[in-house]
Amino acid sequence: MNNNKLTSSLMLAGLLALAAGPALAQSQAQSKKKAPAKVVRPTVAAGSQSDPAYVAADAAYKAYDRRDYASAISQARQATQLAPANRAYWLLLVNSLIAANRLQEADQALNQGLQAVGDDPAMRAQREPIRRAMAQAAGTAMYRALEANDIPAAATSARAAMQLAPENAAYRLILVNVLLRAEQFAEAERLATESMALLPDSAVPLALRAYARQRLGRWPDASADLERALQQRALTAAAQRSLRLITADAALAAREPQRALAMLQGLPDSDVPVAQRRAAASRIAARASAPAAVLTSNNFPPPGLDCGAAESAMTCAVLPGQPARDPAFDVAAQAYRALEARDYALAADQAAQAVAVSPTNRDYQLLLLDAQLGAGRLADAEQTATAALALDPGDAAGLAQRGAIRKRLGNDAGAAEDFNAALAAGQLGPAAEVGALADLGRLSEARSRFAQLQADGRWRDASDLDQAYLAARSGHAEAAREAFARADAAGKLPDSALQD
């Protein structure tokens, strides 16, 4: 598995956090990025040079190979029309359409192919990559709309992304946040309540629902949600701080300065956001008889989201609302685009500029880390990972990632220290946990944990190929063979994996 690549949906969340300004606060770029779903390399069934369908398919294959997708699509269509019962030709057409990002047409072609060929596993296996790609496209449209401050369009795209990928916690929670920005508080409350059923151990939907309820004039209900959020299990120190600041903001908006001060108790005055809120509480207390201001998104911005660890934690983190636009936004947005285009050198240069302008923005630190890893600058990446961990020392995913970097650098002792710390934090996702055990040489535990997670159905969101490599790293040969076989049967085994 390539752990330095970001999942498209989560990279989207990172972009969203930057674009949203007041609504989606900083600290969101993503630490683990995967490339878009791999397009299965099309093959052509054996045929004769005198067979017109074969000739068209062969031309389509060659066009596909040189990335001339328009020609590949045209020739593949002709092949399917001439030989509609040939599964390989339909797969060639579908994959060419996916590669050309003509996703609706790919979905239509897949349905036509299934009707022509019948219920075929290899054909059905293409539905999931198409769905993921369509969700990614909707998410990208959501980001573009937010960047243009077109909140209605962003909400429309966010709904589409959530419908296409309902299991993606990031899309669901981001939609709630977009609805809060659009001041559609009733719908935001409803969706946040639905999200609570899907994420019963997460404080995030509670905090988002609390904001919606307070803006709807239901402060007691909002207050109860915030208290419940603060009592959620296994909150990290960073999460507790964020929730206390959010609760303090809500108390200040409700003109309850003493409650706000109680929430801030024990937090240092050297923490600028804490000091700002204490000063605000003092001002409100000194003017207790003053009428309450009408709440707006400017004087009481909604909480932000950090979806950088959604892949491992299965939820986002909630952050205090930020009324001011980050001064490094423009250069950071350029860095994200360069990263998306895989221009890692340019992305690293621009991300470094963003970090220089906003050194406490962990989002930008993680963006820089991804760019450096993509560029193969491991020593620089280790330094950046260390800087990011200084902003959140208990980040298990960050510790595991730095451990992987140190292992690649030959620093086995430092890697082992990081892997042990990550495991001790207890917040790792399934793949990262098994991988850390394997990298520590604790293969028996890794195999046992792999099998337990498999029995619990925790690998549903991992591809067969990822499972195969993870099982192989753990010394679980049988599970690796089975996963490789499933990937091969589904037509998702790339040439590079055949030797493995």
pLDDT tens-place string over residues 347-362: 999 999 999 998 988 8
DSSP annotation string for 399-463: HHHHHHHHHHTT-HHHHHHHHHHHHHHT---HHHHHHHHHHTT-HHHHHHHHHHHHHTTTTTTS-
165 lies in the same domain as 263: yes
Q: What are phi and psi of 67, to 5 degrees?
A: 65, 25
Please tell me which residue, 311 or 266, carries the higher pLDDT value.
Answer: 266
**pLDDT tens, position by position, 352-389:** 999 999 898 887 898 999 999 999 999 999 999 999 99
209 lies in the same domain as 268: yes
Q: Which of 286, 319, 352 is the last residue of a domain?
A: 319
378 lies in the same domain as 308: no
153 lies in a domain? yes
Say which range, 204-218, 222-236, 419-433, has the weakest mean pLDDT.
Answer: 419-433
Task: Give the residue among 324, 318, 319, 326 at the shortest CA–CA distance from 299.
Answer: 324
Contact 211, 302 (CB under 8 A): yes
158 CB neighbour count, 10 Å cutoff: 28
Pure H helices in 236-295? 237-253, 257-264, 272-286
Q: What are phi and psi of 48, to 5 degrees?
A: -110, 145
Q: What are phi and psi of 319, to 5 degrees?
A: -130, 155
162 lies in a domain? yes
Report the relative pairing of strands 304-306 and 317-319 from DSSP bridges: antiparallel
d(CA 409, CA 55): 50
Please tell me which residue, 374 or 475, carries the higher pLDDT value.
Answer: 374
31 lies in the same domain as 142: yes
pLDDT band at 38 (very low <50, low <70, confident <90, very high): very low
pLDDT at 126 over 70: yes
The count of C-alpha atoms lying within 13 angstroms of the C-alpha of 253, restricted to the half-sphere facing its C-beta, is: 28
pLDDT band at 215 (very low <50, low <70, confident <90, very high): very high
Q: Over pLDDT 90: what percentage of the chain?
A: 42
Q: Cα torsion at 294, 224, 154, 99 (round to 10°)?
A: 170
Task: Give the residue among 372, 331, 374 at the shortest CA–CA distance from 354.
Answer: 331
375 lies in the same domain as 260: no
pLDDT at 318 over 60: yes
Q: How many domains does the chain have?
A: 3
pTM above 0.75, yes or no: no
371 lies in a domain? yes
Say which range, 137-151, 220-234, 436-450, has the weakest mean pLDDT.
Answer: 137-151
Please tell me which residue, 131 or 371, carries the higher pLDDT value.
Answer: 371
Q: What is residue 330's predicted lDDT score, i.e. its pLDDT?
A: 83
90 lies in the same domain as 175: no
Query: Which range marks the domain in which residue 82 is found?
Result: 52-125
Q: What is residue 321's predicted lDDT score, i.e. its pLDDT?
A: 92
CATH value at residue 382: 1.25.40.10
115 lies in the same domain as 160: no
363 lies in the same domain as 240: no
14 lies in the same domain as 153: yes
pLDDT band at 409 (very low <50, low <70, confident <90, very high): very high
d(CA 10, CA 162): 13
138 lies in the same domain as 246: yes
407 lies in a domain? no
Alpha carbon of residue 378 to chain centroid: 23
3 lies in a domain? no
Please tell me which residue, 160 or 269, carries the higher pLDDT value.
Answer: 160
26 lies in the same domain as 70: no
Q: What is residue 10's predicted lDDT score, i.e. its pLDDT?
A: 38
245 lies in the same domain as 182: yes
Contact 277, 302 (CB under 8 A): no
Distances in whole angstroms, Cα of residue 321 to Cα of each of 199, 243, 261, 473, 491: 22, 11, 18, 42, 46
